[in-house]
Amino acid sequence: MEEAQIWWDKAVDFAADYGPRVLGALLIWIIGAWVIKRLVRALRRMMNKSTYDESLQRFLLNLLTWALRVVLILVVIQKLGVDVTTFAAVIAAAGLAVGLALQGSLSNFAGGVLIMIFKPYRIGDLIEAQGVLGVVRDIEIFTTKLSTPQNKLAIVPNGAMANGNIINYTAQGKIRVDTVVGIGYGEDIKKAKEVLLEVLISNPRVLQDPAPSVNVLELADSSVNLAVRPFCQPEDYWDVYFATYEGCKLALDKAGIEIPYPHSVEIHKQG
């Protein structure tokens, strides 16, 4: 019983010494997290009223959020009785090892900064990079998020984005849709071009400046291939792409112009 009483007294003394610290640290964490959330939300409203680029807004707010969280963690640690100076010295001593371990993350952070400075793309742009085609949904500290045509979310490291090739289909404001339609060698090329050009002109999503065009692309083995080239807004690309092929097929059928197709040839072996 005396031993149990001793352990109980130690537990009471420990709770008396550290209980207020733990409660204080917990209270600081709750209040601090609330303040950070409110501050970031207020800054977001201020930036929305200004001329800040949306990509820069999100990047800066993301960076500020992480910086404030680090400060909050240090304050909580200090409240628990840990010497922040000693803690910082330990972090500094381990800095080299951490830096080597996080080379990729540091590269991605630097890439994010370069993207914000040079702006090769912005949120909402249709781009192709690192083998991914998609619309930029978010530019974070370490990664860029793309929404692909299949509605998949692609997350690409900023380091690779900053150091790799990027094709921005939105930057020029207009994009050309490249399609090819074949007609038979016996068909009237001039008439076919007029029919196909009318398909492009009648599509409200096809831009008239630059003007759409239909030209002979090549003389293939079994067809005369025509390059059908409409221009459109980047966000209308796939709608125009599919509508062009469908419209061309229907228009050529209506005009009685043949579209060649492969014919299979059976070879019979002599027994």
**What local confidence, expressed as pLDDT, does residue 84 receive?**
60
- One-letter amino acid for residue 70 of the chain: V
d(C-alpha 193, C-alpha 271), whole Å = 50
**What local confidence, expressed as pLDDT, does residue 9 receive?**
61
**What local confidence, expressed as pLDDT, does residue 268 receive?**
42
Position with higher pLDDT, 218 vs 92: 218
What domains does the chain contain, in order, with CATH numbers? 12-93 (1.10.287), 106-168 (2.30.30.60), 175-255 (3.30.70.100)
- One-letter amino acid for residue 242 of the chain: F
Q: Long-range contact list for 233-238, CB < 8 A, 24+ apart? A: 233/173, 233/174, 233/175, 233/205, 233/207, 234/125, 234/126, 234/169, 234/170, 234/173, 234/174, 234/175, 235/126, 236/205, 237/126, 237/169, 237/175, 237/177, 238/149
119 and 168 Cβ atoms separated by less than 8 Å: no
**210 preceded by a cis bond (ω within 30 of 0):** yes
Q: In Å, what is the CA distance from 160 to each residue of 98, 144, 156?
A: 21, 10, 7
Choose the weakest-confidence range: 15-19, 192-196, 231-235, 253-257. 15-19
Residues near 66 by beta carbon (within 8 Å), at least 6 away in sequence: 141
Position with higher pLDDT, 136 vs 100: 136
**What local confidence, expressed as pLDDT, does residue 103 receive?**
59
What value does the mean pLDDT take over residues 14-40? Answer: 78
Question: What's the burial of 13, exposed, middle or buried (CB within 10 Å: 0-12/13-18/19+)?
Answer: exposed
**What local confidence, expressed as pLDDT, does residue 148 receive?**
92
**Whose CA is closest to 55, among 2, 105, 113?**
113
Reported as a single tens digit per residue, the pLDDT across 84-108 is: 666 555 556 555 454 544 556 778 8
Is residue 49 predicted with pLDDT exceeding 80?
no
Is residue 192 predicted with pLDDT exceeding 90?
yes
* pTM for this entry: 0.59
Return mean pLDDT, the chain.
82
Q: For the beta carbon of residue 52, count every other beta carbon within 10 angstroms.
A: 14
**What local confidence, expressed as pLDDT, does residue 167 receive?**
94
**Phi/psi class of residue 173: alpha, beta or left (left: φ > 0; alpha: ψ in -120 to 50)?**
left
Position with higher pLDDT, 66 vs 154: 154
Is residue 19 predicted with pLDDT exceeding 80?
no
Position with higher pLDDT, 20 vs 64: 64
Is residue 14 predicted with pLDDT exceeding 80?
no
Reported as a single tens digit per residue, the pLDDT across 168-177 is: 999 888 999 9
Name beta bridge partners: 220. none
d(C-alpha 120, C-alpha 97), whole Å = 33
**Whose CA is closest to 195, among 149, 166, 228?**
228
231 and 210 Cβ atoms separated by less than 8 Å: yes
Token pair recorded at residue 38: 């409110």
**What local confidence, expressed as pLDDT, does residue 191 receive?**
96
